[in-house]
Amino acid sequence: MPKLKQFLREQVIFLTVAFISFSAQPAIVWAQEINPLPFTEPLNASRGSVTPTLNNATYLTDGDICTVTIQIWGWSSCNEVDTMILGQFPGVDTTLILKPDSSGFVAFDDWEGDEKNAVIADIEDSERQGMAAQGQALGIDIRFAGWSVYPTLNHEKQMMYYATDAIWDGEKSINITATVFDRRGYVEFLIIPSATQITPEETEAMITKVLSRYEPAQGQEYTAFAEGDKVAAVGAVGVLAALAGVQYGKGPLAALMATALLILKKAWFVLLLPFIWLKGLFSRNKGS
């Protein structure tokens, strides 16, 4: 068994105020109480819907989402998760759609400016520092290994995404973050592959497939922006910084907000690694 999978099954790591580790056996007991439902009809989210693709795809009810996030993953709240889908596409283990951001319509005109490169460099520094600290806390080697998919903004489809590689105790891990922009702000996706040995081209194709199944509600599309709608204080580069938890802009307030975001996004990263192969865990327990 690969070292990463063995480690994840033997010792699940969660973050609340500090790092807490415990045996994977309680997680399996909780998993037996989860009842994934067939994903055969469009699934409503807060500001859109997701169209099913595979007959064997499933989704979790709000109650089961809370059981997974709080009882299995150790989160303090389940309020940020809007929808959770298992096995949405071949190669996609889990798709999380988070509650939408409503800070306002996001313009894309800052994407070609010089500030984007500075933000991306800050993201890389943050990833290196965060992973090194996580590895030191766990007593294993965790390192940032670069971009699997470089931050990309698709103007035509109004979506932005990126994927980072990490080395976890000698094994590769991929974390994928993507957004769909709409009239009110944006919707964030966390995508968990079933495997770690996938190429950047395969990763990008996976992201595009997942995002293509999401449709903003009628009247909430990015192109439905009308005069008088709220406009976000930052553009696409600012959204990228917020998603990654790095400082954007100048001044004390910007620094304060960046610090809070950095803490939260490091927590998200720590939580992402233990719950890969979630669909497989439920399938194994259902058949046992």
Mind listing the pLDDT tens digit for each residue in 190-239? 998 888 788 889 999 999 999 999 999 999 999 999 999 999 988 999 99
Strands 171-181 and 159-168: antiparallel
Q: Share the mean pLDDT of the chain.
A: 77
pLDDT tens-digit readout, 36-85: 999 999 999 999 999 998 778 999 999 999 988 777 766 778 888 999 99
pLDDT score of 32: 47
Of the spans 9-13, 22-26, 71-75, 117-121, which averages the highest pLDDT? 117-121
Q: Which CA distances in Å does 140 have to 27, 84, 168, 169, 241? A: 22, 30, 8, 6, 28
pLDDT score of 141: 87
pLDDT reading at 273 higher than 60: no
Burial of 209 (0-12, 13-18, 19+ CB in 10 A): middle
Q: What is the pTM of this model?
A: 0.78
pLDDT tens-digit readout, 117-176: 989 998 898 888 878 887 787 788 888 899 999 999 999 999 999 998 888 788 888 889
Residue 149 tokens read as 């998919």
